[in-house]
Structure 1
Amino acid sequence: EMEQLKTFHYKKNELSSNIDNNERIEQHSCVICLESFNEGDSIRELKVCTHIFHKDCIDEWFSSKFNLNKRSCPLCSCDALNSR
């Protein structure tokens, strides 16, 4: 399932075409580790809500024993791995 998520390298001025510019501008840090995104960081984008996280952070989030049967976004709690 994780392989289906969009993975890319963070570029400060690059916006995804399917995301409202204001929403992406507001998210310049990972809410899991609270670290800012830096140029070249590996980032995953969730399918439904399009929130972005460091790849390692979101992978660990979904594989944690507390989250095994629940694939919710850490930011908005949507079912993050299902398509719209």
Structure 2
Amino acid sequence: MLAFLDEILANFMVEILPKLFRLTVLAIVILSKHCKHISLSYKYRSIINKKTSNFAISNHPNYWKECSVCLSEFEPGDEAMELVDCGHVFHRSCLEKWLRWHRATCPLCRGVVVPDVVVREYHRARMDRESDGIQKELAIILFNVLHGGNCRHGFF
């Protein structure tokens, strides 16, 4: 009976423990990158929220005729977003896309909305996340571990 337990322990130490260690390390790396991305996204979004105000376009005449991003006229009930520093107004969805994917400046006057340092960090993290293959490696390893190391699906 003792020999059987020694064999199970040896098998665990040689085969299972290294796989568990590798999985744990990969999971920690993925979680830390994910947390960093969430933190940078939150920081970026909170700066945008502080520098803008949201409102609905009303029926009364105003000096905002069209959105300078999509070049469509404002209609009553449209969701709009105003940049606090310069006062320029755009469709909310247009300005959000502009600030997240194009530039972190006002589309009209190029006034800074989000500081360049934060923009670079945000875009670098977004590019890392899009091009990072470690999630794929973890999925392949998990798949291999679940199949007892005998994966016959072309991964190994």
Taking structure 1 as the reference length, the TM-score comes to 0.70
One-letter amino acid of the structure 2 residue matched with residue 49 of structure 1 = C
Task: Select 1:45's aligned residue among 63, 76, 82.
Answer: 82
Moved over 4 A (4+): none
Distance in 1 separating the partners of 2:66 and 2:77? 13
Number of the residue aligned with 1:76? 109
Contact 1:47 1:80 in 2 (8 A): no
User: Any gaps of 5 or more consecutive residues in structure 2?
Assistant: 1-46, 116-156
Taking structure 2 as the reference length, the TM-score comes to 0.40
For residue 33 of structure 1, report the CA deviation from its aligned partner.
0.3
2:71 paired with 1:34 = yes
- Which structure has greater helix proportion? 2
Judged with a 3 Å threshold, the aligned counterparts in structure 2 of structure 1 residues 81 and 45 are, in CA distance, closer, same or farther, namely farther
- Which structure has greater strand proportion? 1
RMSD: 1.9
Number of the residue aligned with 1:55? 92
One-letter amino acid of the structure 1 residue matched with residue 82 of structure 2 = E
- Identical amino acids, percent of aligned pairs: 28
Deviations 1:19-64 (A, max 9, x none): xxxxx52x31000000000000000000110100000000000110
For residue 81 of structure 1, report the CA deviation from its aligned partner.
5.2
Which runs of structure 2 are paired with 1:7-26 in the superposition (5 Å)? 7-13=54-60, 25=63
Distance in 2 separating the partners of 1:81 and 1:11? 28
Contact 1:46 1:81 in 2 (8 A): no
User: Any gaps of 5 or more consecutive residues in structure 1?
Assistant: 15-23
